[in-house]
Structure 1
Amino acid sequence: MNNEIIYPRSEEEVLLILATAKKEGHLLEIIFDEFVKKPFSMPVLWGCRAYFYGLKKEELSAHPVLFTHLALLSAMDGDLSQAKAYVQFMGKTPRLVKMDTYDMMDICRIKTELVMPYISDAMFFRIVSFLIEENLVPVMGLTLSACRPSILNGFRDFTRYGKYLKKSKDEITEAACRLYGGSVGQKVYEIMLAEWYYQNNNCFEALILVTGTIPLIEQEKDMRCLFVALALQMKILLVNGQTKAARPLVEKIRKRIQITGWDELTSSLNAIECLGACYDGRLQDVERWLDEIAPDENKGIFMMDMYAWMVKVRCYIQTGKYMAAYVLTHQLIALLIPGRRYMDLCECYMLSAIIYYKMKNMEGMCEELSKAIALAKRCGYIRLLADTGNCMVQMLAIYQKEYEEDSFISEIKELAYSVGTYFPDYLKSPYEYYEPLTQMEEKVFRLMAQGLSNDDIARQLGKKTGTVKFHSCNIFRKLQVPTRQEAVERGREIGLL
């Protein structure tokens, strides 16, 4: 029997270890052992955050390396000011980084700063150069990549540098190999390039690159890179109508997670699977994910779970929960702006535009869509907008009445139309499956829902009772119900009330 411990440990296992240690009076020792001496995953650190927040100042002063963990937790919580404050407890990194003035605590600090979004890009590249020149690599637990559906994308957003990937292939590959160790950096580069190809609508080139990379990643047994590669392969197949080829990839990834113990990837995998249900219009599966599996924003926004949050907004839209979608989207926007997460911001502005569109606020829709298009045009996020399908086509038709059409918008519209032909039910809210009510029918329906009789509705609207009865009959027919009570129930189910 194989009793070998798999690292990183699961959250459940680490929580049990910490709870026992606290009871026995040696919590600090065990925290140090589990989170400094051994590999750990970001979701497990997040799950154990209460133990870190409970540490006393004198305990942290005795083990200042734990400030790095508190900084990571603050970044995961979207509080970059607090993250910066924790890092500065270990000192301040000068503009010119030199080894002769550095000790191990300084090294620990700058390795933490490497993934902190509050540092400038110039400082990021200076730190990378310093670590490589001084042979202080690989950096364990490094979470940097352009690929978004996984923990690999970390806190920094490099997607806006996609256009430099081919120009600077050798330099980027060498740096990535040194930072990650072994040949993993080569695979990171290839996955980033495949993501860039995909966003620029070079889907076939992206698919060739990622498909060729997968067997090599499997040999390296790097589960995080493999997850990103398989997830990207699945997305490319999915949005090009190849759903039968895409679905088995979910199970393939799930089996790999079970074998390797990389439970931290499960949340993103469940979200990817739910996104497939959104595209197919499988509302029961969408609602099940929302009710049973989706992360809960009321318990805090875990920034490393950004992919799942974006899927959750889509699920809220698809189930007619527009207010919940609006609140979550704007929570995310407030967290993303300080970290300069442009791709995620672009997606949030796009989702916000969809919410306004569904709520029939065309002015708000155009304003949010303008922000999304500006970012997409600047950074090359073509597929990000186009993959919205019919909803994007409909929004752009209204948007173009206010703004001039250009080649970029035309390309998005054409691609979105193509996606819409494959997935006509994607982002279609429940009420859209029924014939729309007229403005007068909506007024009658709202008063009907308040329990008013036909006579009362007629008096309030200044209409004849017969006219109200006529509109009521139309409401019953359109909602496919025989009675007032059932009409009201159906209206609440599908978000009309």
Structure 2
Amino acid sequence: MNNNKAVENENMEKETALYLESQLKSDVGRYKIWNQRELLRNLPIQIIEKSPMICSACAIVEELSDDYNKADEYIARLKRLQILYRANSDKYEEIENYLRCMDIELAHRSTTDLFNKYKLLLEVLEKQNEYKLKPTITLNRPSLLNGARDNYKYASHLFTAKKPLKMMAEKLYQREGCMIFELAKAEALYQENKIAESLSLLSNLIPRLERMKNPELLFVALYLRYCILIVTGQLDSVYCMIDKMKNKLNELDAFYLIPNINAIRVWAAMLDCNYPLIKEWGKNHAPDESGEYCNLDRFQYFIKLRVYLLYGKHMLLVNLAGRMLHGLLQLERHAELCELYTILAMSYYNEKNEKQAFQYLTEALELCRKYKFYRIIANEGSRIYLLLRDYACAVIEDNTVIKLMQMSRTFGLFYPDYLKPKLYKTTTLTATEMDVLRLLCVERSNEEIGTYLDITTRTVKFHVSNIFRKLGVKNRRQAAKAAKKNGIV
């Protein structure tokens, strides 16, 4: 009886292992690994130790949760498993393949000596010609230089060491390698504010990427084109583009990228002061930092930080920023640290805490000087411009600060109301004025409003005049537009 149960358990374990391996082989965005996290975490140790793929997947799950010690424990298990096999045997080489792949895949293990680790991985690939868990390029973020890891420290090499880098990319990613290299260059140029050069590269790349049907790379390219439209003041064009981006990714079955597409739409909504859309995303789609934290959602968390900034929710912003800060420091993600420090600086500035605001801005500026993160800071528009102006007077006014002031001022002129608090928060309408405004928005005349509310036409005119004054508008059409734009009605 016991023997039968043991056999049954063994068969069940084998079936579980086969199921997981089939899922993980086709996992591109790491969402399959993350969605199987409970099953992976509850697996008997004997299954984990028999499968290099499952052991690697367990390490990835812990990395995504910012638990780097647990991730390293699974790598130690892989190493112990490897020594059971004869050197140069097929099984030994297979595990060596996974170990080298994990040294790159796990960002906390690849903050130093990354190029050498790529070379070691290439040695294994030349022997085996394939590996089952390819290192991710973007980890679902719309960036190569700030994707699975922060590669901005190598951005200058894209122009000074083109040949070896391009060759390495082509060896690792075959026909996609050349486009990865060119797309990374386009990103670096954009960040340095060389917009025309970046757009020129993109114009050639996007049609080729569409034909290749690689959703991750296409997402990066389309997002970069979106950013260029934004910084050149072409907001009217972006909503249509976001819809096309979403449709293309759906066609490629890249469902795992859609949450980030929705977050991009919310950023556009903040530029356009579309408060109902922002509110709906925050309520129904934004990741919940009070639940289980996942690095796959980090791009969305940055959008959520801006939503908190918009609504003046300083403590919630600080709490989320603190949750993110540990992992960003551990992984040496300088671009996201620059972004986080900038947002914290703006929030403390809004709270009239100049000392703390200047401290975080100093941190952001140091990273900007070192890695040329100009667009990361300047794209915060008028809010960061006003802070930079005060900082220049009180602390220092060097070339970096002057350049950022010029860039953020231009951005602020395109989007003067970006990150401006909702109008109705500073505008108090009476209950009757709200009723009049609702009817005004559906184009009712003063006489019709008076009849419906049982008040005189003269009283209606009095309320309409007060509404115009409080909303800062001159006519009924402007009042209706302001009310809808700011979510008042």
Structure 2 partner of 1:116: 106
**Cα 1:70–1:238 shift into 2, 3 Å:** same
Alignment match, 1:448? none
Q: How many residues align?
A: 417
Deviations 1:17-73 (A, max 9, x none): xxxx9xx88652343342344445312211221111111112212224311001111
Q: Is the 8 A contact 2:111 2:332 kept in 1?
A: no
Deviation at 1:269, TM superposition (A): 0.6
Say if 2:206 is the partner of 1:218: no
State how 1:312-391 maps to structure 2 within 5 Å.
312-391=304-383
Determine helix, strand or coil for the equivalent of 1:165. Answer: helix
1:230-249 residue pairs with structure 2 within 5 A? 230-249=222-241
Residue in 1 that maps onto 2:483: none
Give the secondary-structure state (helix, strand or coil) at the position aligned to 1:85.
helix
Where structure 1 has 5 or more consecutive residues not aligned to the other structure, the ranges are 1-20, 437-475, 481-493
Residue number among 27, 34, 37 corresponding to 2:22 in the alignment: 34
1:286 matched to 2:278? The reply is yes
Aligned partner letter, 1:346: C
What secondary structure does 1:353 align onto?
Answer: helix
- The 3 A distance-change label for structure 1 pair 221 and 60 is same
Corresponding residue of 1:174: 167
Distance 1:193 1:272 in 2: 22
CA shift for structure 1 position 117: 2.1
Q: What amino acid maps onto 2:159 in structure 1?
A: K
CA contact (8 A) 1:279 1:426 kept: yes
The partner residue of 1:125 within 112, 115, 129 is 115
| 1:160 counterpart letter in structure 2 | K
Q: Distance in 1 between matches of 2:203 and 2:185?
A: 13
CA contact (8 A) 2:226 2:241 kept: yes
What is the TM-score normalised by the length of structure 1? 0.77
Q: Which residue of 2 aligns with 1:405?
A: 397
Distance 1:200 1:214 in 2: 21
* Corresponding residue for residue 48 of structure 2: 60
Q: What is the CA distance between 1:361 and its match in structure 2?
A: 0.9
State which drifts further: 145-154 or 196-205: 145-154
SS at match of 1:328: helix
Report the TM-score, using the length of structure 2 for normalisation: 0.79
Correspondence for 1:465: none
Any gaps of 5 or more consecutive residues in structure 2?
Answer: 1-8, 429-466, 472-485
Q: Could you tell me which amino acid in structure 1 is paired with residue 415 of structure 2? A: F
Cα distance in 2 for residues equivalent to 1:312 and 1:75: 22
Match of 1:160 in 2: 153
List per-residue Cα deviations over 1:182-217 (Å, max 9, x = no partner): x21111111111110011000111111112100111
Check whether the contact 1:75–1:155 (CA below 8 A) recurs between aligned residues: no
Change (3 A) 1:93 1:416: farther
Letter in 1 for 2:185: L
In 1, the alpha carbon distance for the partners of 2:33 and 2:140 equals 22
Secondary structure (helix, strand or coil) at the match of 2:155 reads helix
Give the corresponding residue for 1:14.
none
